[in-house]
Amino acid sequence: MHFVYRDYPFITFYSPGLRAFVVFALLWTLIWKGIALWKAGRNGHLSWFVALFLLNTLGILDIVYIVWFAKKKV
């Protein structure tokens, strides 16, 4: 059986610009999520760690945690 793209019109929706956006969003999310998870783990914030791990908000929740809720080292 041969795969025919015209039978699946949603596949052609992925233009190079959309692909670039998806790659950028993925990298953006992974960087912020990594930093936030590392800080939550080091600070012993288990509930924050679980929430940050399970929820994908394109880095918004991760940035909120880092800026307002992570412990500041003096």
pTM metric for this prediction: 0.75
Long-range CB pairs of 53-62, under 8 A, 24+ apart, other chains included: 56/29, 58/25, 58/28, 58/29, 59/28, 59/29, 59/31, 59/32, 59/33, 61/36, 62/29, 62/32, 62/33, 62/35, 62/36
The per-residue pLDDT for 8 is 63
pLDDT tens by residue, 16-45: 777 788 889 999 999 999 999 999 999 999
